[in-house]
Amino acid sequence: MTWRCVPAIALAALGATLALPAAAVQRPLWELGLGVGALSLPHYRGSDQSTTWLLPVPYVAYRGEIFKADRDGARAVLFDSQSFDVDVSASASAPTRSRDNRAREGMPDLKPTVEVGPNVNWTLGRGRGRGAAVAEWKLDLRLPVRAAISVGSDPRVVGLIATPNLNLDLRTAGGWNVGLQAGPVFGDRKLHSYFYEVAPAYATAWRPAYAARAGYAGATALAGVSRRDGARWLGFFIKADSLAGARFEASPLVRQRSHWSAGIAMSWVLSGSSRTVDVEE
């Protein structure tokens, strides 16, 4: 495992599962802050090597009617109702230098990617907790589909990814937000080729040529916890990833079929708008 200090990469998983139903409260239209975090990730899904990133973590909240940046991530809300909404969301992946990865030695580096696409959210149920521990809960079916775009001097679309999932949000009586999320992952041939194909030019005696195919790409399960306490925000997540049964499971670049990743961050809100809006907290 290696340690790196890098420019801010959004710890999206810390916020992606933590939106909860509640009565509307007044919050500033925008807030800005800064903090620090650590994120441990495999080089790529299926790698047997990982990197721990030390990150400056910006805190950015914007609560407009269309454009939002909050616990659900940065997005543009295209349609919103009590139980159904459509937005445009984004995600990202970190770079991997092949010289630092045994399985990819001699192959082209994996550039960082950004993922952008529509996300359909359907609320299946919500309510108040009956026990002392859970104050509120909400269960969503989420259907995100995103295009992955490489970042660099020659950006290009490297494929499509779909991650349908069930997402359960809980708010505890003590003010903690808990998010539980699980679901399968699917990718097109182009995306799987970007990460798992071995062209004949890069084949070796221990790394045979391999052509990737589209389809099922395994499954993920994620648990996240966060809390806003005055000007301080704290978040933590842990994620389990399985490639069992994935269409590219036989790739020589898949060295590990299950792994864990985790992250923790703390930020302080330093400034906010004098204008306030009604939001569900």
When pLDDT is averaged across residues 144-162 and rounded to a whole number, the result is 94
Residue 29 tokens read as 């239209």
Q: How far apart are the C-alpha atoms of 164 and 159, rounded to whole Å? A: 17
Architecture of domain 2-274: Beta Barrel (2.40)
Residue 175 tokens read as 């003010």
Q: Which helix H or strand E contains 193, and what residues bound it?
A: helix 189-196
- The pLDDT tens digits for 72-129 are 555 666 656 678 888 877 888 889 999 999 999 999 999 999 999 999 999 999 888 6
- What pLDDT is attached to residue 70? 59
When pLDDT is averaged across residues 170-187 and rounded to a whole number, the result is 91
Are 222 and 235 a contacting pair, CB within 8 Å? no
Please check the confidence at residue 59 and state whether its pLDDT lies above 90: no
When pLDDT is averaged across residues 205-213 and rounded to a whole number, the result is 96
Please check the confidence at residue 187 and state whether its pLDDT lies above 50: yes
Q: Please list the helix, strand and coil fractions of the chain in percent, rounded to the nearest 5, in that order.
A: 5, 60, 35
**DSSP state, residue 14:** H
Distances (CA, A) of 41 to 48, 78, 135, 203, 216: 11, 32, 32, 26, 21
At 265, the pLDDT band (50, 70, 90 cuts) reads very high
At 140, the pLDDT band (50, 70, 90 cuts) reads very high
Query: Which range scores top for mean pLDDT: 28-37, 149-158, 210-219?
Result: 210-219
Please check the confidence at residue 66 and state whether its pLDDT lies above 80: no
